[in-house]
Amino acid sequence: MAKELKKISILLILSWIFSLLFMLSGLTSLSKSIFGGILVFLGGLIIFPPFDKFLVEKKKIKLTGWLKFFVFVGLIVVGMSIVNPLGDIEQSNFDSATSEPQNFNDLPVAKSNSQNQQINYKFGERIVHGDWAYTFNNMETKSEIGENVLGSFIGEKADGIFLVFDVTIENIGKKTDYYLSDLIQIIDNQDRVFDHDSTAEIYLKDGESFGFDQIQPGLPKRGKIVFDVPKDIKGNLRISKGIFSSKYVFVSWN
């Protein structure tokens, strides 16, 4: 009995190439944003031929070509925008129209090469920005985060030095929301921007990291955010109003 010929189309080849490309991209993006990386990975998975076969044979689910296309595009666009924000688009205009007037004339300024950073807040002050309120309690430095188990270190060692910020975050919006630690960054006096180290945060004690936490309105959560930075860094914390917003406030830890 003749074996059934297996047809290989251009569409099948492209599905393999792009699915593997985006799944790999999603995995490598986890260090920047766990949520964004997962979305990109799922976008690649949805067009991965073996996954389509698994759904049909094991789950009896058949996704149409157009449905897979729209789900793929949606996951990739949202995931990549979280991993690599393009700045404020429509929200910038909204922020400009609704933001309250502030007088920063008396605030101290940290000079950088290309711009001045206005230091709006210090540790211990309550910072209201967007739908979130922050209070930075303290900061400590560490060369490694983890613990020794049976004589072996399990954790993460800093390439420079870990700055570990103890912060209380409150959802001041009207509904339950997920908090992304990506909203908090460090910008130094050379205008270099540092994202939090999500890998190091995995090795904090239980309940100390925020991860992708669901926070109820009016119920503050206290935790820690970790940055791996050069040992001689001089800069400030920078808090964004939202993923797609370029409206920032700055916090000095010096």
In a shared domain, residues 78 and 107: no
User: Which CATH number fits the domain that encloses residue 230?
Assistant: 2.60.40.1240
In a shared domain, residues 232 and 120: yes
Burial of 225 (0-12, 13-18, 19+ CB in 10 A): buried
Tell me the three state secondary structure of residue 2: coil
Residue 33 lies in a domain: yes
In a shared domain, residues 148 and 30: no
User: Which among 143, 233, 235 is positioned nearest to 184, based on CA atoms?
Assistant: 235
In terms of pTM, does the model score above 0.75? no
Tell me: pLDDT of 125 over 90. Answer: yes
- Tell me: the pLDDT tens digits for 211-222? 667 899 999 999
Of 34-43, 124-133, 230-239, the range with the lowest mean pLDDT is 34-43
Amino acid type, 207: G
Task: Give whichever of 14-23, 84-93, 107-116, 130-139 has the largest mean pLDDT.
Answer: 130-139
In a shared domain, residues 123 and 218: yes
Share of the chain above pLDDT 90, in %: 32
- Tell me: the pLDDT tens digits for 53-89? 777 777 777 777 777 778 888 888 887 877 676 444 3
Distance CA 2, CA 186 (A): 65
In a shared domain, residues 181 and 222: yes
Residue 1 lies in a domain: no
In a shared domain, residues 142 and 227: yes
User: Which among 194, 192, 190 is positioned nearest to 113, based on CA atoms?
Assistant: 190
Tell me: pLDDT of 108 over 50. Answer: no
Tell me: pLDDT of 5 over 70. Answer: no
Distance CA 169, CA 181 (A): 10
Question: Phi then psi for 247, rounded to 5 degrees?
Answer: -90, 115
- Run of H or E residues at 46: helix 34-46
User: Which among 218, 248, 246, 208 is positioned nearest to 91, based on CA atoms?
Assistant: 246
